A = this chain, B = another copy of it.
Amino acid sequence: MTKWKCNYCNFEADIFSQYYWKCPMCGNPLSLAFTTTGEIIASRNIWEHYRGFMPFRPEKYRGEGFTPLIIESTSSHKLLFKLEYLNPGGSFKDRGTALAVYYGFKMMFKRSVVDTSGNTGISVTLYSKLYGLNPIIIMPREAPEGKKKVIRQLGGVVVEGEGRVGASKLVYNYVNEPDTYYVAHLWNPLYIVGHASISYEVYEEYGVPDYIIVPVGSGGLLLGLIYGFEKLREHGFSDKVPRVIAVQGYSVQPLYTAMYGRSLEGEPSTLADGIMVLNPPRISEIVSAIKSTGGDIVLVGNSEIIRAHKTLWEWGFTVEPTSAVVYAAYEKFSRKIPEKSSILLVLTGSGLKTL
């Protein structure tokens, strides 16, 4: 049985009994408690392949997961690029959404709602239509027009708010309506166990890398990657978890502030719209997860993002600017990484929709 579990106040409940998007007792983000067998089954459907690591298996599959891993050696390091932008909805979010929307379907919701800068909106629309839920996607007015077009063409309704904060506020007009599923990807722990599938794939194809460089907005990707490598260790596949280098922009750096008690001056990072999350609900989990791996955080700005973005495209990686922060961070941080280390860079979202 899969349970909601609050690690702050020990609240527990069967997840199929009632939907909570945060702990009903103390208001903190929930985790999931379920038994993993660690069994890996031969299949091209990731939910079948990794069912021994998942809380349940979604009925539908749209091609999420099993993204390519491209290995490039530099004079000092081995870089592993994970091409998450080749997921069916154009970003890694599909791995979490496939689980999260299936859950909403099983709970008999009729409508899904989410507030997002874009990629989650594409993903939630795609999977909601698949399961017959009507998607309402609440976005900042200034979010990339290309992302809104994709959502509308997939059959989603876009509602615009003033900035990310305005969008988050607008959500409250919907969350308590009947039959409405607030996907709440910043809170929903199904995203974390879904994103962990990236770690399983990297392990199967390459092994456990020494480092991971990962962009942090809500932190769901970072937490998923660490959770995944911890699960692999728990089941005896490996004996280490990579050091995790988190990346944020100078403009929105709650993680840096939480880790170091101060902020860092630097040029704006507005091009990285996908990671501009002011108050990630799991911030304390993120900080302790990074510290547990001996990791760190790197901040980047627009000119570094532009340069990294150009480089990645010329290498054939058609990513959006937000995704380029990992390479910008690598360039900045690489001298601190020992020679011959292997470094996983997660390329999160497609740039084809934001040209």
Contacts and interface: CB of A to CB of B under 8 A. Distances in A.
Given A88-B83, A88-B318, A316-B88, A150 B352 contact: yes
A1 interface: no
Given A129-B315, A316-B88, A352-B353, A83 B63 contact: yes
A54 to B, nearest CB: 18
Contacts of A63: 67-68, 70, 83, 86
A146 B355 CA distance: 7
A53 interface: no
A146 B146 CA distance: 11
Contacts of A88: 68, 83, 86, 316-318
A204 to B, nearest CB: 9
Contact of A150 (B89, B129, B315, B355): B355
Nearest to A154: B313
A127 interface: yes
A316 B127 contact: yes
A61 interface: yes
A205 interface: yes
A129 B317 CA distance: 11
A242 interface: no
Contacts of A90: 318, 352
Interface in A121-146: 126-127, 129-130, 146
Interface residues of A, number: 37
A174 interface: no
Interface in A331-355: 350-353, 355
Contacts of A59: none
Contacts of A318: 88-90, 126, 150, 153-154
20 contacts: A44-B205, A61-B70, A62-B68, A62-B70, A63-B70, A63-B86, A66-B68, A68-B88, A86-B86, A86-B87, A86-B88, A90-B318, A126-B316, A150-B355, A153-B318, A153-B355, A154-B313, A155-B313, A350-B352, A352-B353
A318 B152 CA distance: 12
A235 B30 CA distance: 54
Contact of A154 (B86, B126, B149, B316): B316
Interface of A: 44, 61-63, 66-70, 83, 86-90, 126-127, 129-130, 146, 149-150, 153-155, 205, 313-318, 350-353, 355
Q: What are the 3 closest A-B residue pairs judged by CB atoms, nearest first?
A: A63-B68, A352-B352, A126-B316
Contact of A130 (B127, B146, B315): B315
Contacts of A313: 153-155
A314 B352 contact: no
Contact of A62 (B61, B154, B316): B316
A326 to B, nearest CB: 17
Contacts of A70: 61-63
Nearest to A310: B153
A90 to B, nearest CB: 6
Contacts of A350: 352
A154 B352 contact: no
Contacts of A146: 352, 355
A83 B62 CA distance: 9
A355 B316 contact: no
Contacts of A154: 313-314, 316, 318
